[in-house]
Chain A
Amino acid sequence: MYTEKRRLTSQDVKRISIIANIIIISLFIVLLFLFWNIQILKNQHYAKLATGNVRKEIIIKAPRGMILDRNHERLSENKISFNLVLIPDYTENLNRAIDTAARLTGMTKKEVNDTIEKYKDFSKSYAIPLKKDLTLAKAIYIESRADELPGFEINIEPVRDYPYEGMASHILGYISELTPRELEKKMTEGYRLGDVIGKSGVERTYEQKLRGVDGAKNVEKDNLGKIRVVLGEAQPTIGNTVVLTIDMELQKFIEEIFKEYNGAIGVVDLKTGGILAMVSTPNFNPEFFSGVMEKTQWEALVNDPAKPLQNKFVQSLYLPGSTFKVVMALAALQENIIQFSTTSLCSGVIDIYDRQFHCWNRGGHGNMDLYEAIANSCNIYFYRLGKRMDIDTIAQYAKMMGLGQPTGIDLPNEKAGIFPTRAWKLKTLKQKWFAGDTVSVAIGGGLIQVTPAQILSMISAVALRGRTPQLHLVKQIEKDGLVIEEFQPQFREVPISRENFEIVIEGLYRVVNENGTGKAGKIESLDICGKTGTQLILSLENPRYEQLVKQKRFTPHSWFASFAPRYNPEVAMVVFIENGGEAGAVAVPIAKKIYQKIFNRQ
């Protein structure tokens, strides 16, 4: 029955099956060779890729060290922030993930895109921070839907918190994320993208102390980024605690009475040189910088003419005005040009080198010795000193007293200022020194530029009769509650005789206590010594002086540099107010309130 159906001969079948067998055998040999190549010869290559797929390192950010005041009040600490991050590798579709991200964060798609774009050169498994400081509710919402949101994760990170909000902001400074340029330089120090760094204030100066050591967790993650196994974990180490010399109670008091003004105040503990309070107004809230700052917010801060980001105490330069008469008096005494008893007649105006120079008191002070000249801040007396002294000699004394050079305080970007000399003028302005220039310098005018910190350093040296304390903000560094580093008080000797200091101090005493320019500062039970300075913006020689001076921008700057008590001085203080007006009426009463607070006297 089947034979009639057969057309294939047995030879045909044999031939076909031999060929088929040869084909099959060779196919299997080729296949075995193929898999041998992939699994055995290239095993290491693929094993590495497989490990790379699953093994991931998760950085655990270290909390930054705290900043405390001298009484261990917390000025800067950490709180928990929930951040939304996106890992492109674990998304199924990046465009859809961008839509989801926009929905979750309330950002626009473009903003999300721009954020992701910043990280385009990074590995696809890098966690891109999309939004910081989510609400707890939102963080829980996202975390609980992790399975539906592949690629999204909530990172818990410590962020800076400032319990006193905007207070002491110029001392503390602020932190913010490293810019890509900074990152390039700092990569070797272990900074990563998204890390923060101190940008100003103590946060910046003590960056290395405050910064902790990040921890890491080695995990195995699945294709959706879910952690399956934790292989190892290194705990982060919190940064060291920085304890300031600041007394927050005093700081707070000063900030409150000074907040309407535009200027700077510094109070120093003369026993150590530690700053007790330092205010620069207007200030800013450092928390601004920790979160996501709007571009407009940033621009408003930068472009504000009152310069809230600038620490006027160390970063702004002004003419010292009459406070400089302290240095002039010391120089003249030390150079034996005058004695305390040397008198001079003030008639309100004087002709020097065919030019008229006025006293602020147009009616004239009459005949005065040095004490009276200081107490009344008589310009004529000091013009005459300027006429009799050489500028380079004056400059030498100014330098001794710390003017025109940084104080070396532990704050970033301190300005040096300028104290002019012949050589300096020739080099910088390509001009010869004129005798008239010295006359202007003699009353703290002309080309001098100093910071309020330098004036504080100068008055401190006077108070200590020739010992300049090193100004500083940090008392000690602590780790786990133990002091690991302490600031030792340092003093620099000024080669001026003690007698001459006593003479000048008598003048400074009279300024406040014997009807001088600072009489508004008198406190019965406290011997305050100080020197006012009303630095005119307009020249007294300006014919429209009386008219223009009423405008705010032409109102004189107001200085008061002082210390107390006269003997065994404890604190020195500088009060400076931009366009504040008459020093005796503005700066002095503020200083008085601060002294009352410090010494608890009425």
Chain B
Amino acid sequence: MIRDSLRFFDKLAFTVLLALAISGLVLIYSASHSLVYNTYFSRQVLWFFIVVIVFFIVYRLKTELVFDYSFPVYVGLVALLALQLIVGTIIAGTKSWIKVSFFSVQVSEFIKIPLALYLAKTVTKITLIDWRSYSRLLTIVGIPFLLIALQPDLGTAFMLCSFLLIIAFLKKIRTVIIVFTLVTIAAGGFIGYNYLLKPYQKDRIISFLNPEKYKKSSGYQIIQSKIAVGSGGLVGKGYLNGTQSQYKFLPTRQTDFVVAVLGEEFGFLGISFLFVLFFLLFYRQFNIKVQSDEEFYYVYFFNGLILFQFLVNILMSVGYFPIMGVPLPFVSYGGSSLLSFFIGEALIFRIKANPFLND
């Protein structure tokens, strides 16, 4: 089994993953080396090794087993999210972190794996999306969505919705449901914007449309990020030489705006390199042979999620999307994000390595 699994291991895709994570380390070092209490880089290096080990552990799990356990794991994580919310309400302050000794673990980052698996399992049984299956899917995504949105971490919550979009792309849906959904989104967006969003969340959305007006507040990030990327030119200002990055004009540059550091210090060539890596990843991971429908759906769900998050992060960095606060998969600082994406990918590697499909 081990020999088989290594024989059919996609070395190119794995190299791409490592290249992305190492690029991340390089950029995180640049973004944080001048900070006085800098633990970002060393923490991420440690995470990197943990993640690689976990990747191979997960890679060796049996696919069927993973699908079978997806529901209980999903329920467990939802329960943890709920618990976090309750405890967090009692102990005021940040709610999205559960402290595990040296590291902090973000449960909301991990829910996407059992969610993708369980959705794949569910969708397999559905031929046409009618009201019944529609409400079922909405419930499965909606519960963690709400729990995460209430933390409040709208960016991460919003990323879960990408699963629904992928379902819409893959499945036949009754026209009335499509109409209903669009109307509900429009109405919900209106009500949510006017009554539910906090002022700073609204500012983020509006400032994206007119950053100059919000230059001193929420528009600042967008402006500074665009300046960083734009001033990089073709080859960039050189590693550790970007004024926007090194003089801290770039906000959250080791997480959400890591692309701006890349764009500034390595220029258009650096950006192109990143795009090539992601393109290779998607090319290798989307076009695979599968053994079952649920595997097929899972591959599309998880790769789709990566694609969406990649797009949102990249577009947000240059002002073409509201600031969502989502990290760039595999690259941005953050152990939970790195780990969850590698675990999700490990399952796809496992699916690809099935000896029955590789003869």
A contact residues vs B (CB 8 Å cutoff): 2, 5-8, 13, 16-17, 20-21, 24, 27-28, 31-32, 34-36, 38-40, 42-43, 45-47, 49-51, 53-54, 94, 220-224, 228
Contacts and interface: CB of A to CB of B under 8 A. Distances in A.
B147 interface: no
A21 B283 CA distance: 7
A501 to B, nearest CB: 77
Contacts of A50: 227-228, 230-231, 243-244, 264
B287 A43 contact: no
A36 B293 CA distance: 40
A24 to B, nearest CB: 5
A54 B247 CA distance: 8
B247 A39 contact: no
12 contacts: A7-B293, A16-B300, A24-B307, A27-B307, A35-B229, A35-B263, A35-B268, A39-B232, A39-B263, A39-B271, A43-B233, A220-B243
Contacts, number: 113
Contact of B268 (A7, A39, A46): A39
Contacts of B271: 35, 39
A53 B287 contact: no
A35 B230 CA distance: 8
A27 B278 CA distance: 12
Contacts of B264: 50
A506 B230 CA distance: 91
A39 B234 contact: yes
Interface in B209-243: 216, 224, 226-234, 243
B311 A32 contact: no
B268 A47 contact: no
B287 A21 contact: yes
A53 B292 contact: no
Contact of B292 (A5, A49, A222, A223): A5
Nearest to A27: B311
Given A16-B170, A31-B275, A222-B248, A40 B233 contact: yes
Contacts of B8: none
Given A7-B124, A39-B230, 8 more contacts: A5-B294, A20-B286, A35-B229, A35-B271, A35-B272, A35-B318, A220-B243, A228-B247
Contacts of A49: 227, 230-231
Judged by DSSP, the binding face of B is helix
B291 interface: yes
A39 B267 contact: yes
A24 B282 CA distance: 8
B227 A34 contact: no
A426 B248 CA distance: 77
B164 to A, nearest CB: 17
B97 interface: no
B229 A32 contact: no
Nearest to B235: A39
Contacts of A2: 291-292
Given A5-B294, A17-B286, A24-B283, A32 B272 contact: yes
Contacts of B311: 27
Contacts of A28: 275, 278-279
Contacts of B148: none
Interface in B245-301: 246-249, 263-264, 267-268, 271-272, 275, 278-279, 282-283, 286-287, 290-294, 296, 300
B314 interface: yes
A38 B226 contact: yes
